[in-house]
Structure 1
Amino acid sequence: MPDTVFGRLFGLVVLAVLASHILVFAVFINLAPGGPSAERPAPQSSALRPDRAQPPDGLRRPPPPLNGMLIGLLIQFIAVTVAAWYGARMLARPIQQLASAAEKLGDNLSSPPIEEQGPREARSASRVFNRMQDNVRAQIEARERFLAAVSHDLRTPLTRMKLSIESLADTDVGERLRNDIGEMTSMLDATLSYLRGEAQDEAWQRIDIQSLVDSVAEDAQENGNQVSVIGQTEPIEGLPHALRRCLDNLVDNAVRYGEAATLSLTDGPSSLVIEVRDKGPGIPENRIAQVMEPFVRIEDSRNRNSGGVGLGLSIARDTAHRNRGELSLRNAPGGGLIARVTLPRD
């Protein structure tokens, strides 16, 4: 077969048409007068059928033309259908492999490369995809090294500034500067943590969601927070560390801005829903989509003095996406905010 997709498809159709015509020709030869399957008429007495002349011995009447055409069309239809099915399957296999590899790449940058096989176009696409995966992995590793350097270089002057503030005579100015430095340090830590979490590779595995949610609630309770769990669920496939980080951030936001958190589990055949509800003032309806963007704070509904730099919901949304899930926010009818994480079971 030719090496290109066009060549293979064209050659397959030509072979199918040629084979169908050969089969039709063989059928007509077989059914033609005097052919191998020609039927000899039974001898009849001319006295019984005086009005009709008997055909010569060894000949038979040809089949009606309509039947022969129908047989030919049926054979051609079957041949072309089989060829089209096989060709579509053969041509779709490399595309399916490429789609599967792209899906795995979104979950794990260390996934194995695609095997370069099939026609020339499929091999070229696989080669380009493998090269892209190597480049993305190299850029992520370079960013990790950059983050480590930035972390070290920024913490050093911040430490010097803290030491210099201690020698100031004005205690009020020193206190304000210490608060500013503390806020800068928190922003730096949160940003580095956010970027490191995006670059982290993790293998998919079966997660005991019930134990994971109970552990998140127990950790929050040990810190003096009011957190409760409602509902039961079965295990699910996912990224345990990413999902734990998502729930930790949602619970942290709930207890920070809403005083308490309630985790509700709703299991189903196709998806698992985890809701985190707080008792806070909620978020204005026209700002719900914006609040999940990095470094966005809604001062009307969130107390700026309570801490945080506006990355908690962004991290929760991104980690939910890494688990092929979705994070949505809505205001509860009786007050408070509900963060809903939907995880597919497939």
Structure 2
Amino acid sequence: MRNAFNTLFGRLFGVLLVAIVLAHVLAVLWFLHYGPPPPPPVATLTEQSDGTLQPAEPQAYSRPRLRGAVVLLSFQCISLIIAAWFGAKLLSRPIQRLSAAAERLSLDLDSPPLDESGPREARQAASTFNLMQRRIREQVSQRARMLGAVSHDLRTPLSRLKLRLEQIDDMRLQGQMRQDLDDMIGMLDATLSYLHEQRTGESRQWLDVQALVQSLSENAQDQGTDVQCQGQSAPLQVQPMALRSCLNNLIDNALRYAGTARIELQDSPQALLIRVIDHGPGIAAEQREAVFEPFFRLEGSRNRNSGGVGLGMTIAKEAVERLGGRLSLEETPGGGLTAKIWLPRASS
């Protein structure tokens, strides 16, 4: 009940309701206190059995005019409450539409534009919102094209440098420079993959998440790694490639630092919880949010064999957020890192 009045509609309706009820209560009290005084009772005579006349008992006076006024005020109060409800609903509807459109935009930049209809203020707000959406799409697309072009064009001089390395007689220096070039090419490939993930507008589909997790676990075991899964879940409406990319990055991260991984599914009517658990060195609490930043790598992982390029966790988090969920990190009991994916169900 408290949350029902924590909206624009609830507050408008509540203010109007309080004003209407208070005004009518004061009016009723005024009538009760200052209403017209009753006329004096009329003395009547009744004939007794012995033939004499005696005054009759005075009858209580009722105020029919006062009762009529109370009924009229009650009817007026109910009518005004209904009018206030419809008025508050009408005033808050454009704000609700704008809020729903903003939520869709946060999940998908290519969401349909807002309908520019209704009162002048509502049309102006919808037009401004649609203009903002177009500008955001243009800026994101321009940034992606620019970074993609730079990453692509850098591959050509890097490839030429690898060929020229063969002319260096110092084999130790040649190996070090080749490794540096391979790292740079790997970062470019990861950047292109990251930009592709951002540009992809995948539609939502019903997916058997339990079957997906089991498939990823079996594929990892076929490659000689230890990935176990447990738990059950009902199908969920998601972007299949986004969820697969997220889980692949989390599993690769767990295998890179711990050598093994365990995936747990915990389903409920409101949401699906997926845990990717490892028993590796873990991450300090103050650095768990920083690992989601692009190209961020922990000091202990800055080596060519295990450090990666620092985009895996970023891709995983953005994939989960496109599904309307959350990705967080916490310490595994006994040591290690647990990545928690919370995905809401459509009915929640």
TM, length-normalised to structure 2: 0.79
- Gap change, CA 1:137 and 1:301, over 3 Å in 2: closer
Q: CA RMSD in A?
A: 2.8
Looking at structure 2, the residues matched to 50 and 75 of structure 1 have their Cα atoms a distance apart, in angstroms, of 45
1:85-118 residue CA offsets vs partner (Å, 9 max, x unmatched)? 1111222222222222222222222222221221
1:263 maps to which residue?
263
Identical residues among aligned pairs (%): 48
Q: Paired residues, what number? A: 303
CA deviation profile, 1:123-169 (whole Å, cap 9, x unmatched): 11111111222222222332333233213211111011111111111
Measured in 2, the distance between the counterparts of 1:216 and 1:299 equals 29
| Gaps in structure 2 of 5+ consecutive residues | 1-11, 21-43
User: Structure 2 CA distance, aligned partners of 1:221 and 1:146?
Assistant: 39
1:129-278 matches, within 5 Å, as 129-278=129-278
Specify the alignment match of 1:41 in structure 2: none
Which sits farther off after the overlay, 99-108 or 299-308?
299-308
Q: CA deviation at 1:213?
A: 1.2
In structure 1, C-alpha distance between the alignment counterparts of 2:150 and 2:127, rounded to whole Å: 35
Offset at residue 300 of structure 1 (A): 3.3
Secondary structure (helix, strand or coil) at the match of 1:300 reads helix
Looking at structure 1, the residues matched to 110 and 201 of structure 2 have their Cα atoms a distance apart, in angstroms, of 7
Residue 111 (str. 1) matches residue 111 (str. 2): yes
Q: Distance in 1 between matches of 2:106 and 2:202?
A: 11
Which residue is equivalent to 1:33?
none
The equivalent of 1:328 in structure 2 is: 328
Rounded to whole Å, the distance in 2 between the matches of 1:240 and 1:124 is 37
Alignment partner, residue 6 of structure 1: none
Name the CA distance, whole Å, in 1 between partners of 2:47 and 2:146.
110
CA contact (8 A) 1:281 1:301 kept: no
Instruction: Give the drift of 1:45.
Output: 9.9
* Separation in structure 2 between the aligned mates of residue 300 and residue 152 of structure 1, nearest angstrom: 30
Could you tell me which runs of 5 or more consecutive residues in structure 1 were left unpaired when the two chains were aligned: 1-8, 18-43, 53-60
* C-alpha deviation, 1:206, in angstroms: 1.5
Assess, with a 3 A threshold, how the Cα gap between structure 1 residues 248 and 145 changes in structure 2: closer, same or farther: same
Instruction: Name the CA distance, whole Å, in 2 between partners of 1:159 and 1:311.
Output: 23
Are 1:77 and 2:54 an aligned pair?
Answer: no
Q: Residue type matched to 1:295 in 2?
A: F
Code of the aligned partner of 1:88: A
Aligned letter for 1:85?
W
CA distance in 2, matches of 1:150, 1:218: 38
- The 1:84–1:137 alpha-carbon spacing in structure 2 relative to 1, beyond 3 Å, is same
| Equivalent-residue separation in structure 2 for 1:339 and 1:224 (angstroms) | 22
Structure 1 residues 135-144 or 323-332, which shifts more? 135-144
Distance (Å, rounded) in 2 between the aligned partners of 1:148 and 1:269: 41
CA distance in 1, matches of 2:304, 2:151: 25
Q: Quick check: 193-202 or 123-132, which moved more?
A: 193-202
Deviates more, 1:123-132 or 1:186-195: 186-195
1:166–1:174 CA contact under 8 A, matched in 2: yes
**Distance of aligned partners of 1:303 and 1:182 in 2 relative to their CA distance in 1, 3 Å threshold:** closer
> Residue 194 and residue 208 in structure 1: after superposition, are their counterparts in 2 closer, same or farther (change >3 A)?
same
Between the aligned partners of 2:285 and 2:186, the Cα distance in structure 1 is 28
